[in-house]
Chain A
Amino acid sequence: MSLVILSDTKGNLIEAHQLRLEMPLLGTWTAHLETTADTAIDGNVVITIQHGDEAAERFVGTVVDGEPYEGRAPLVVVGGTEGLSKRPAKASYYVGANSAIEVAQLVGDVLVEADEVPSDATALSGLRASAWARLETESHARALTRIAERFDIGWRVFASGAVWAGPVEWLDADLEGEELDVDTDARIVSIRYRVASARPGTTIGGRRISLVVFTADGLGELHYEAM
């Protein structure tokens, strides 16, 4: 059993007895929690997941739905500031000198408009576009996905809340926990984690991880890509 604590900017510490935190390869992470709080929780929060004396993992996000209902307090939290779900006030069109717009500029402008924090690990040097269009009908998250799809890169929100974009490198990583079962048809590894440190975009046990799920009972899932 893991301890899941939600802390907000008012200094409240609330224990969650249910959690399903999903971190996809592309896009922001989301967490569905249930707490015993009897007041609405909103704004920036930190979800801390700790198993016994093991290291705690902290996920910095924003509550997008947190109204108590009939003695229950279901919560939905997204990574970062929630700015990625918003749309730009107006469309924009980029034309670079000598047909070269830095993709880093495209990503940077999206994050500035979304009021999100870019990750220092963002690595986009050398990627350029001849022109680029952004429509006001598409969210900032969709704009990042457009860039990722076009240039075959990834983007996601780190546990820290910072937004990263760059080539997916599939670096080897350890599972701080144990494998319980492998469903080769669905390509899902069931795990029991000690530390919620598994991340998409890494290679764990020879498998390329595309989605990580953590639950409050210390169990989780690693979804992996077909090799």
Chain B
Amino acid sequence: MSERDDFAAALASVAKADPFAVVYRATVVVQHADGSVDLRLDGTSLQPRNVRLDVGIPGCRVIVDPGALVRLAFEGGTPDGAYAFGIPLDVGASRGLVAVGDLGTAGSFAAVGVALGAPIVFTYFPPGDLPSTGPPGTVVTLVTKATNGSAKVMIR
């Protein structure tokens, strides 16, 4: 038996001895306006309500959907210390969050007058597609400022 097995066995014995010192898998039933959640636990009939959700990121608030998996533990190992945490990482998440107020670009326009009196021709270049040699004419880059963001994750 490896040291890892020994450690696991030692933890298992603690879990048997004290059910308030272990971590439970739980499913979110509903989330309240204050961010706390009602939970349904695996392996026990306990249904904790209004449990605070500790996100683990400073200044962050998360909206979770009913059915989401979280973990439940008891701070200090006491029956009044219930808190939820441990929302699983989503390996499919690849899109970076934008905070309200963040600046970005919407692309650039190159404006060229082809002949006197003729209309100015605007050529649009998406973000990142502006030729490194520089297009002819005057280039105008459109700067954006985010006015709304994710409805799932809020930061302070």
Interface residues of A (CB under 8 A from B): 90-93, 95, 129-138, 146, 149-150
Contacts and interface: CB of A to CB of B under 8 A. Distances in A.
A75 B78 CA distance: 36
Given A135-B44, A136-B44, A95 B80 contact: no
Contacts of A90: 45
28 contacts: A90-B45, A91-B46, A91-B47, A92-B46, A93-B48, A93-B82, A95-B50, A130-B80, A131-B48, A131-B80, A131-B82, A132-B80, A133-B20, A133-B46, A133-B79, A133-B80, A133-B82, A134-B46, A135-B19, A135-B44, A136-B44, A136-B46, A137-B19, A137-B44, A138-B19, A146-B78, A146-B79, A149-B78
Contacts of A93: 46-49, 82
Contacts of B47: 91, 93
A134 B48 CA distance: 10
Interface of B: 19-20, 44-51, 74, 78-80, 82
Contact of B50 (A129, A131, A149): A131
A95 B79 CA distance: 12
A86 to B, nearest CB: 16
A149 B20 CA distance: 13
Contacts of A131: 48, 50-51, 80, 82
A227 to B, nearest CB: 28
A132 B79 CA distance: 5
Contacts of B51: 131
B78 A150 contact: yes
A136 to B, nearest CB: 6
Given A129-B80, A136-B46, A137-B19, 5 more contacts: A95-B49, A133-B48, A134-B79, A135-B20, A150-B79
B92 to A, nearest CB: 34
Contacts of B49: 93, 95
A136 B47 CA distance: 12
Given A138-B19, A150-B79, A150-B80, A133 B45 contact: no
Nearest to B50: A95
Contacts of A149: 78
Nearest to B44: A91
B107 to A, nearest CB: 52
B46 A135 contact: yes
Contacts of B44: 91, 135-137
B58 to A, nearest CB: 23
Contacts of B78: 146, 149-150
A48 B45 CA distance: 42
A146 B74 CA distance: 13
A133 B19 CA distance: 11
A93, A132, A150 — most chain B CB neighbours (10 Å): A93
A138 to B, nearest CB: 7
Contacts of B45: 90-91, 136
B75 to A, nearest CB: 11
B18 to A, nearest CB: 10
Contacts of A130: 80
